[in-house]
Amino acid sequence: MTDEAVLVGVDENGLGSRLGPMTVTAVRVRIDRTRLKDTAAVRRVVDRANIGDSKERCAHGSMGDTEGAVLAILARHLGATPRSLTELTELTTIESDAELRRICPAGEAPTVCFGDAVALPAFGDGPTKEHFATAETLMEKGFRLDAARVSVQCAGRINEAKAAGRSRMDVDLDAMLALVATLAVEGQPVIASLGKVGARMRYHDALAARFALVRTELEERARSTYHVANVGTLSFIMDGDATEPAISLASMVGKYARELWMHRHNRYWTRAVEGVVAVSGYHDPVTARLVSATALARKKLQIPERCFER
């Protein structure tokens, strides 16, 4: 019988952006301990596969390699070959289509967010032979993606939470815990690693609100660790996307998902308003110019501020 460990990695992308959604992503990975005996061995394997911190490896405007890597892993590890963002959303997103559209207003706003299926690959030619070979090598070495799930928090949902007195960090943490609950394995404890939410050190109360029997094991600036009955061990780790293999993979998948949603938004606005160029959605001059250039059009199209900008 295989000596197997189940890792869950969770991370967010777009927490501090001005436009577009925040994507909170979790992956479940099965580790063959007969081949990968410790964390250092796992880290070496994922480093060779160029899996790491998405902020360093997946820059806006140069997503082709990351897209190829993610699509190759989905294909080889999960047998999934989404042909569009719509299909990828159906495959991975924990919210139903109805829930994603729950607060959509009348007017053109739903078209901005959902009207374009966005064919995949969107940023290049798709997976190369090298991408597929790398995905297969990961499995051969004992690192296999078992599931990938994404929570999409659009500007409207984040603004709705803000109006109720909850910060985007609260939304981030809620989504993280929902994802862990979704990927928990009955009868097999998981080792879950989550990126820390800001500088927050204590998570016991948030965990206890969702899970029964939570025991605090460690609460420090760099790491906060808890044991959760019927789930396993959850550790919130500072800069975990750079050090924890499962978080690194979640970060890359989540970055790809967020960039696809921004690509959909950019395609809409570059067609709707002359002179507008694609933007990252973060707090930069190019994004600011798009906000200004689309103001009149958004008013005519009945797109409320709460659905556009956080």
Q: What is the CATH number of the domain that holds 160?
A: 3.30.420.10
pLDDT for 62 equals 76
Asked if residue 60 lies in contact with residue 258, where contact means CB atoms within 8 angstroms, the answer is no
d(CA 174, CA 150): 13
Per residue in 31-59, pLDDT tens?
A: 999 999 998 999 999 999 989 666 666 76
Percentage of the chain lying above the pLDDT 70 cut:
96
Per residue in 152-170, pLDDT tens?
A: 999 999 999 999 999 999 9
Domain limits for position 266: 4-307
Asked if residue 192 lies in contact with residue 207, where contact means CB atoms within 8 angstroms, the answer is no
b (16+ CB within 10 A) / e for 189-225: bbbbbbbbbeeeeebeebbeeebeebeeeeeeeebbb
Question: Structure pTM?
Answer: 0.95
Q: Is the backbone peptide bond immediately before 121 cis, with ω within 30 degrees of 0?
A: yes
The number of folded domains in the chain is 1
d(CA 26, CA 200): 20
